[in-house]
Amino acid sequence: MRGVATLVGLSALALAAWPGFNRVEAAPAMAIDADVRDEFRSQMIMPLALGGDNGRRMAATTAVIPLASAPERPRLDLVATLTQGDSFDRMLRRAGVSEIEASQIAGMIGNAIDISDIKSGTQVDITLGRRLVAGEPRPLDALSFRARFDLQLAVERRDGQLLLDPRPIMVDATPLRIRGTVGGSLYRSARAAGAPASSVQQFLRVIGTELSLDREISSKDEFDLIVDYKRAATGEIEVGDLLYAAIVRNGEPRKRLMRWGPEGRYFEASGVGEQREGLMRPVPGAISSRYGMRRHPILGYRRMHGGLDFRAGHGTPIYAATDGRVDYAGRNGSYGNYVRINHAGNLGTGYAHMSRIAVRRGENVRRGQVIGYVGSTGLSTGPHLHYEMYRGGQKIDPASVRFVTRAQLTGKELADFRAQLDLLQLVEPGAALASLAPDPDAVEEPVREIDRLENRQQVR
């Protein structure tokens, strides 16, 4: 009974202490009405997020007198860019120069240089002056740009007249020669010696056609490369083509190649042209049928398949497998549109079922030149290239031939080639990397307005 009494007693105590579940209200720290709330809101970022609906600003009062016209900047400095396919006067008009003045300036510049020499992407600094009449375009006060690698052109208004002011930039055209030991990596060694990346890549590609870069060049060999290189007094550098590439072993040149001729091919020191190995694939597609006996898909009986079939989509360009002269171009029975090319060494190649032919009979073609497009003309079930090869007019298996064409310089051309090669050997390694001696006649005047301001700050 005592236990029951304890239970009842404790239960009663617990029920007596039962808490209420009413809301507990905290008194506000200060009274906030709509005005005060707005005041707070104006301090927050939120009004900005809502589009500045509560940004505070003052409305105009009667004390505000509107201006008849707002004052303009007296001059405007702009940078305009000559884009691809752009004309000079169109660019000026875009920048706000009047039509008459734009064509006048374009004419002045056209008289000084060939406008088409100006590279697209050239930036032109333009200063426009104060408008003479409200609403009219601003007159051009000055204009300055790099017209060529060796020429800065400026147009300035002096006493109301536009004057052209060409400022030649000194350019040093000493070719850049880099020599060094191959070491662990020819690429890294040449780069460390100061060769531009594009030139090293070209060097590796050219040398790679004659020597195996993995097996025939050792780490103790020396590389020697000469690049067409131009340095302007203003600090810009123009890297041209690789002129000379050599690998030297024990002080003796192991392989020497020099760029020669308008096509920019590389020739060995003996006058033998670069090795152009093997045949080029006429189309990028996979081979779907090889040379040999097979069942013809249309005729239905077994017969000789005299070439290779390349799977390729309609309209895929077809490339000449190697240099040659077009012997036939036109429709040819079951071949459809067909081109045959004669190559050196009594070899020939044929390309059938073309949708379109891109060469004419008698035309000289180069390796890799587009001669037509894949189609399904003639006796064909779908777009593909039927590719044949002939030796002395007889069909042979194209897969069995890897031919090599090499040009050989002779006579006067060989003598000129040797003279040029000797001349290149006189180039001092690394000479073109030295800093350009300042031209005593050059006036130290900055071209861009921002540089002028900086210079002024430095002086005063």
Q: Please give the residue ranges that form the binding site for Zn ion (CB under 5 A).
A: 309, 386
CB 178 within 8 A of CB 218: no
Task: Give CA–CA dist 419/298, Å, rounded.
Answer: 62
Among 150, 108, 147, smallest CA distance to 125 is for 147
The residue (of 231 and 386) whose beta carbon lies closer to Zn ion is: 386
Which residues, 6 or more positions from 306, have their beta carbon under 8 angstroms from its beta carbon?
291, 388, 395
Q: In what order do the strands lie in the sheet with 161-168?
A: 76-81, 123-128, 140-148, 151-158, 161-168
CB 320 within 8 A of CB 281: no
- State in angstroms the smallest separation of the CB of 330 from Zn ion: 19
The residue (of 141 and 309) whose beta carbon lies closer to Zn ion is: 309
- State in angstroms the smallest separation of the CB of 148 from Zn ion: 54
- State in angstroms the smallest separation of the CB of 386 from Zn ion: 3
The residue (of 138 and 353) whose beta carbon lies closer to Zn ion is: 353
Task: Give CA–CA dist 140/98, Å, rounded.
Answer: 9
- State in angstroms the smallest separation of the CB of 277 from Zn ion: 26
H helices present in 230-275, as ranges = none
Which residues, 6 or more positions from 439, have their beta carbon under 8 angstroms from its beta carbon?
170, 233
Q: CB burial class (10 A; 0-12, 13-18, 19+) of residue 244?
A: buried
The residue (of 325 and 395) whose beta carbon lies closer to Zn ion is: 395
Task: Give CA–CA dist 125/91, Å, rounded.
Answer: 12
- State in angstroms the smallest separation of the CB of 117 from Zn ion: 50
H-helix or E-strand containing 161?
Answer: strand 161-168
- Number of helices followed by number of strands (H, E) in the chain: 9, 23
- State in angstroms the smallest separation of the CB of 385 from Zn ion: 8
The residue (of 210 and 309) whose beta carbon lies closer to Zn ion is: 309
- State in angstroms the smallest separation of the CB of 306 from Zn ion: 7
The residue (of 276 and 386) whose beta carbon lies closer to Zn ion is: 386
Task: Give CA–CA dist 260/413, Å, rounded.
Answer: 10
- State in angstroms the smallest separation of the CB of 424 from Zn ion: 49
- State in angstroms the smallest separation of the CB of 334 from Zn ion: 10
The residue (of 224 and 309) whose beta carbon lies closer to Zn ion is: 309
The residue (of 256 and 386) whose beta carbon lies closer to Zn ion is: 386
CA 145 to chain centre: 22
The residue (of 146 and 386) whose beta carbon lies closer to Zn ion is: 386
- State in angstroms the smallest separation of the CB of 395 from Zn ion: 11
Task: Give CA–CA dist 57/238, Å, rounded.
Answer: 56
Given the structure tokens 């008459």, which residue do they identify?
A: 100
The residue (of 137 and 336) whose beta carbon lies closer to Zn ion is: 336
- Kindly list the distances between the CA atom of residue 126 and the CA atoms of 72, 85, 344, 460, in Å, as whole numbers in the listed order: 17, 20, 58, 26
User: What are the φ/ψ torsions at residue 449 (nearest 5 degrees)?
Assistant: -60, -40
Residue number with the shortest CB distance to Zn ion? 386
- The number of CA neighbours under 13 Å toward the Cβ of 96 is 21
